[in-house]
Amino acid sequence: MPSVSDPVLRGWRAAFALLACAALAACAAGPQRRDGPRIPARADPSRVVATELAFSRMAREEGQWTAFADYAADGAHMFVPEKVLAQEWLKGRADPAQSISWHPHRVWSSCDGTVAVTRGAWEGPGDTHGWYSTVWKRVRDDRRGEYRFLADLSGSLEQPLPARDMIGSDIARCGGAPGPAPAAPAAPEESGRSDDGTLYWIAGLDDAGRPQIRVWQWDGSEMAPADLSLGRGRIGL
Protein backbone atom coordinates (compact mmCIF):
# COMPACT_ATOMS: atom_id res chain seq x y z
CA MET A 1 0.00 0.00 0.00
CA PRO A 2 1.44 3.44 -0.86
CA SER A 3 2.51 5.75 1.97
CA VAL A 4 0.67 8.97 2.86
CA SER A 5 3.44 10.96 1.26
CA ASP A 6 2.84 9.27 -2.10
CA PRO A 7 2.01 12.12 -4.62
CA VAL A 8 -0.63 10.03 -6.37
CA LEU A 9 -2.52 9.43 -3.16
CA ARG A 10 -2.27 13.11 -2.24
CA GLY A 11 -3.79 13.96 -5.65
CA TRP A 12 -6.76 11.63 -5.11
CA ARG A 13 -7.31 13.06 -1.63
CA ALA A 14 -7.39 16.59 -3.02
CA ALA A 15 -9.91 15.62 -5.71
CA PHE A 16 -12.09 13.87 -3.14
CA ALA A 17 -12.03 16.95 -0.93
CA LEU A 18 -13.18 19.15 -3.79
CA LEU A 19 -16.07 16.78 -4.57
CA ALA A 20 -17.08 16.72 -0.93
CA CYS A 21 -17.12 20.50 -0.77
CA ALA A 22 -19.28 20.66 -3.88
CA ALA A 23 -21.73 18.15 -2.41
CA LEU A 24 -21.96 20.07 0.85
CA ALA A 25 -22.57 23.32 -1.02
CA ALA A 26 -25.41 21.70 -2.96
CA CYS A 27 -26.97 20.40 0.25
CA ALA A 28 -26.67 23.81 1.88
CA ALA A 29 -28.47 25.35 -1.06
CA GLY A 30 -31.45 23.09 -0.42
CA PRO A 31 -33.33 20.87 -2.89
CA GLN A 32 -32.74 21.73 -6.52
CA ARG A 33 -35.74 22.88 -8.59
CA ARG A 34 -36.60 20.49 -11.40
CA ASP A 35 -38.72 22.09 -14.05
CA GLY A 36 -41.40 20.04 -15.73
CA PRO A 37 -41.63 19.75 -19.50
CA ARG A 38 -42.03 23.10 -21.15
CA ILE A 39 -44.92 23.73 -23.50
CA PRO A 40 -43.53 23.74 -27.04
CA ALA A 41 -44.20 26.88 -29.07
CA ARG A 42 -45.49 25.00 -32.09
CA ALA A 43 -48.76 23.83 -33.55
CA ASP A 44 -50.07 20.52 -32.28
CA PRO A 45 -53.38 19.79 -34.05
CA SER A 46 -53.33 16.16 -32.93
CA ARG A 47 -53.43 17.28 -29.29
CA VAL A 48 -56.32 19.62 -30.07
CA VAL A 49 -58.24 16.76 -31.70
CA ALA A 50 -57.46 14.46 -28.77
CA THR A 51 -58.78 17.11 -26.38
CA GLU A 52 -61.96 17.51 -28.42
CA LEU A 53 -62.58 13.75 -28.45
CA ALA A 54 -61.92 13.48 -24.70
CA PHE A 55 -64.33 16.39 -24.14
CA SER A 56 -67.08 14.59 -26.08
CA ARG A 57 -66.40 11.31 -24.30
CA MET A 58 -66.64 12.96 -20.89
CA ALA A 59 -69.98 14.51 -21.87
CA ARG A 60 -71.38 11.09 -22.74
CA GLU A 61 -69.98 9.35 -19.66
CA GLU A 62 -70.25 11.98 -16.93
CA GLY A 63 -72.81 14.49 -18.19
CA GLN A 64 -72.97 17.16 -20.88
CA TRP A 65 -72.77 20.31 -18.77
CA THR A 66 -70.36 18.67 -16.33
CA ALA A 67 -67.95 18.23 -19.23
CA PHE A 68 -68.46 21.78 -20.48
CA ALA A 69 -67.65 23.18 -17.03
CA ASP A 70 -64.51 21.05 -16.83
CA TYR A 71 -63.18 22.06 -20.26
CA ALA A 72 -64.03 25.79 -20.13
CA ALA A 73 -61.12 28.21 -19.79
CA ASP A 74 -61.33 31.12 -17.38
CA GLY A 75 -63.55 33.75 -18.97
CA ALA A 76 -64.82 31.39 -21.68
CA HIS A 77 -68.05 32.18 -23.51
CA MET A 78 -70.78 30.01 -24.99
CA PHE A 79 -73.39 31.02 -27.54
CA VAL A 80 -76.71 29.41 -26.53
CA PRO A 81 -77.45 31.18 -28.92
CA GLU A 82 -76.92 34.47 -27.04
CA LYS A 83 -73.46 34.96 -25.59
CA VAL A 84 -73.06 33.91 -21.96
CA LEU A 85 -70.15 33.45 -19.60
CA ALA A 86 -69.66 29.70 -19.59
CA GLN A 87 -68.98 29.11 -15.91
CA GLU A 88 -71.83 31.36 -14.77
CA TRP A 89 -74.33 29.79 -17.17
CA LEU A 90 -73.21 26.25 -16.29
CA LYS A 91 -73.17 26.73 -12.51
CA GLY A 92 -75.81 24.47 -10.97
CA ARG A 93 -77.21 23.47 -14.36
CA ALA A 94 -78.43 19.87 -14.40
CA ASP A 95 -77.06 17.56 -17.07
CA PRO A 96 -79.60 16.37 -19.66
CA ALA A 97 -80.64 12.75 -19.42
CA GLN A 98 -78.76 12.04 -22.65
CA SER A 99 -75.83 14.07 -23.88
CA ILE A 100 -75.23 15.02 -27.47
CA SER A 101 -72.09 13.56 -29.03
CA TRP A 102 -69.77 15.36 -31.38
CA HIS A 103 -66.62 14.82 -33.41
CA PRO A 104 -64.31 17.27 -35.18
CA HIS A 105 -63.97 17.34 -38.95
CA ARG A 106 -61.17 19.88 -39.18
CA VAL A 107 -58.86 21.98 -37.03
CA TRP A 108 -57.22 25.32 -37.81
CA SER A 109 -54.20 26.25 -35.72
CA SER A 110 -51.83 29.14 -35.28
CA CYS A 111 -48.17 28.49 -35.99
CA ASP A 112 -47.28 28.53 -32.30
CA GLY A 113 -50.25 26.39 -31.29
CA THR A 114 -51.53 28.83 -28.66
CA VAL A 115 -54.95 29.05 -30.34
CA ALA A 116 -56.84 26.59 -32.51
CA VAL A 117 -60.37 26.34 -33.88
CA THR A 118 -62.21 23.08 -34.44
CA ARG A 119 -65.30 22.53 -36.52
CA GLY A 120 -67.41 19.42 -36.79
CA ALA A 121 -70.74 17.70 -36.41
CA TRP A 122 -72.94 16.84 -33.45
CA GLU A 123 -75.74 14.33 -33.04
CA GLY A 124 -78.36 14.26 -30.33
CA PRO A 125 -81.39 12.33 -29.15
CA GLY A 126 -84.45 12.27 -31.37
CA ASP A 127 -82.44 12.24 -34.61
CA THR A 128 -81.19 15.79 -34.10
CA HIS A 129 -77.94 16.98 -35.61
CA GLY A 130 -75.96 20.07 -36.49
CA TRP A 131 -72.58 21.78 -36.68
CA TYR A 132 -70.34 23.27 -34.01
CA SER A 133 -67.16 25.33 -33.71
CA THR A 134 -64.92 25.58 -30.68
CA VAL A 135 -62.06 28.00 -30.08
CA TRP A 136 -59.30 26.37 -28.03
CA LYS A 137 -56.53 28.03 -26.04
CA ARG A 138 -53.39 26.31 -24.80
CA VAL A 139 -53.33 26.69 -21.03
CA ARG A 140 -49.87 28.05 -20.33
CA ASP A 141 -49.85 27.34 -16.57
CA ASP A 142 -50.53 23.67 -17.26
CA ARG A 143 -47.20 21.84 -17.71
CA ARG A 144 -48.91 19.27 -19.92
CA GLY A 145 -49.84 21.92 -22.46
CA GLU A 146 -53.53 21.07 -22.39
CA TYR A 147 -56.22 23.07 -24.16
CA ARG A 148 -59.38 24.62 -22.75
CA PHE A 149 -62.10 26.28 -24.78
CA LEU A 150 -62.46 30.05 -25.07
CA ALA A 151 -65.66 30.05 -27.12
CA ASP A 152 -68.17 27.44 -28.16
CA LEU A 153 -71.00 27.86 -30.63
CA SER A 154 -73.24 25.60 -32.66
CA GLY A 155 -76.34 25.36 -34.78
CA SER A 156 -78.93 22.83 -35.91
CA LEU A 157 -79.22 21.39 -39.41
CA GLU A 158 -82.07 19.64 -41.19
CA GLN A 159 -79.65 17.03 -42.54
CA PRO A 160 -76.50 15.69 -40.88
CA LEU A 161 -73.14 16.79 -42.21
CA PRO A 162 -71.39 14.31 -44.50
CA ALA A 163 -69.16 11.92 -42.60
CA ARG A 164 -65.40 12.38 -42.88
CA ASP A 165 -62.88 9.55 -43.17
CA MET A 166 -60.07 11.71 -41.78
CA ILE A 167 -59.79 14.82 -39.65
CA GLY A 168 -58.16 17.62 -41.63
CA SER A 169 -55.87 20.32 -40.32
CA ASP A 170 -54.62 23.71 -41.46
CA ILE A 171 -51.66 25.35 -39.75
CA ALA A 172 -50.81 29.01 -40.20
CA ARG A 173 -47.50 29.81 -41.89
CA CYS A 174 -44.60 30.40 -39.53
CA GLY A 175 -42.24 33.30 -39.99
CA GLY A 176 -42.70 36.74 -41.38
CA ALA A 177 -44.64 39.52 -39.72
CA PRO A 178 -48.40 38.84 -39.55
CA GLY A 179 -50.36 41.94 -40.38
CA PRO A 180 -53.09 43.60 -38.35
CA ALA A 181 -56.32 41.79 -37.63
CA PRO A 182 -58.78 41.98 -40.54
CA ALA A 183 -61.63 44.42 -40.25
CA ALA A 184 -64.76 42.63 -39.07
CA PRO A 185 -67.91 43.16 -41.17
CA ALA A 186 -69.78 44.02 -37.98
CA ALA A 187 -68.84 44.46 -34.36
CA PRO A 188 -68.08 40.95 -33.11
CA GLU A 189 -69.28 39.85 -29.71
CA GLU A 190 -66.10 37.91 -29.06
CA SER A 191 -62.70 37.84 -30.74
CA GLY A 192 -59.11 36.85 -30.14
CA ARG A 193 -55.69 36.24 -31.61
CA SER A 194 -52.90 33.74 -31.03
CA ASP A 195 -49.78 34.84 -29.18
CA ASP A 196 -47.76 34.89 -32.41
CA GLY A 197 -50.49 36.72 -34.33
CA THR A 198 -50.88 34.03 -37.02
CA LEU A 199 -54.53 33.19 -36.24
CA TYR A 200 -57.38 35.61 -35.62
CA TRP A 201 -61.02 34.75 -34.93
CA ILE A 202 -64.29 36.55 -34.32
CA ALA A 203 -67.60 35.12 -33.12
CA GLY A 204 -71.06 36.57 -32.71
CA LEU A 205 -74.60 36.43 -34.00
CA ASP A 206 -75.78 37.16 -37.52
CA ASP A 207 -78.78 39.34 -38.35
CA ALA A 208 -81.09 36.38 -37.75
CA GLY A 209 -79.64 35.77 -34.29
CA ARG A 210 -77.69 32.65 -35.28
CA PRO A 211 -74.15 32.00 -34.00
CA GLN A 212 -71.39 32.57 -36.51
CA ILE A 213 -67.61 32.45 -36.50
CA ARG A 214 -64.85 33.56 -38.86
CA VAL A 215 -61.17 32.69 -38.82
CA TRP A 216 -58.09 34.14 -40.54
CA GLN A 217 -54.64 32.58 -40.76
CA TRP A 218 -51.28 34.01 -41.76
CA ASP A 219 -50.21 32.54 -45.13
CA GLY A 220 -46.82 34.23 -45.30
CA SER A 221 -48.03 37.35 -47.06
CA GLU A 222 -51.42 38.22 -45.55
CA MET A 223 -54.07 37.17 -43.06
CA ALA A 224 -56.17 34.93 -45.31
CA PRO A 225 -59.73 33.85 -44.44
CA ALA A 226 -60.09 30.18 -43.56
CA ASP A 227 -62.68 28.14 -45.45
CA LEU A 228 -64.86 26.76 -42.67
CA SER A 229 -67.30 25.02 -44.97
CA LEU A 230 -67.90 21.36 -44.13
CA GLY A 231 -69.50 20.09 -47.29
CA ARG A 232 -72.88 21.76 -46.94
CA GLY A 233 -72.30 25.42 -47.73
CA ARG A 234 -70.58 27.93 -45.48
CA ILE A 235 -72.37 26.83 -42.36
CA GLY A 236 -72.58 29.31 -39.53
CA LEU A 237 -70.54 32.01 -41.23
Return the closest-CA partner of residue 235 out of 166, 185, 161: 161
Higher pLDDT, 184 or 147: 147
- Phi then psi for residue 62, to 5 deg, are -120, -10
Q: What is the pLDDT of residue 183?
A: 73
* C-alpha to C-alpha distance for 158 and 4, rounded to whole angstroms: 94
What is the DSSP annotation of 100-117? -EEEEEEEEE-TTSSEEE
Work out the average pLDDT over 191-198: 95
Q: What is the pTM of this model?
A: 0.79
Q: What is the pLDDT of residue 187?
A: 59
Q: What is the pLDDT of residue 206?
A: 86
Q: What is the pLDDT of residue 214?
A: 93
Q: Is 80 exceeded by the pLDDT of residue 235?
A: no
Q: Which residues contact 79 (CB under 8 A, 6 or more apart)?
A: 151, 152, 153, 154, 203, 205, 211
Task: Give residue-wise pLDDT tens across range 115-165.
Answer: 999 999 999 999 999 999 999 999 865 555 689 999 999 999 999 999 888
Task: Give residue-wise pLDDT tens across range 76-100.
Answer: 999 999 999 999 999 999 999 999 9
Q: What is the pLDDT of residue 25?
A: 36
Query: Do 112 and 198 meet the contact criterion of CB atoms below 8 Å apart?
Result: yes
Where exactly are the structural domains of the chain? 1-34, 45-225
Q: What is the pLDDT of residue 142?
A: 53
CATH topology of domain 45-225: Nuclear Transport Factor 2; Chain: A, (3.10.450)
Across all residues in the chain, what is the average pLDDT?
81
Work out the average pLDDT over 215-232: 85
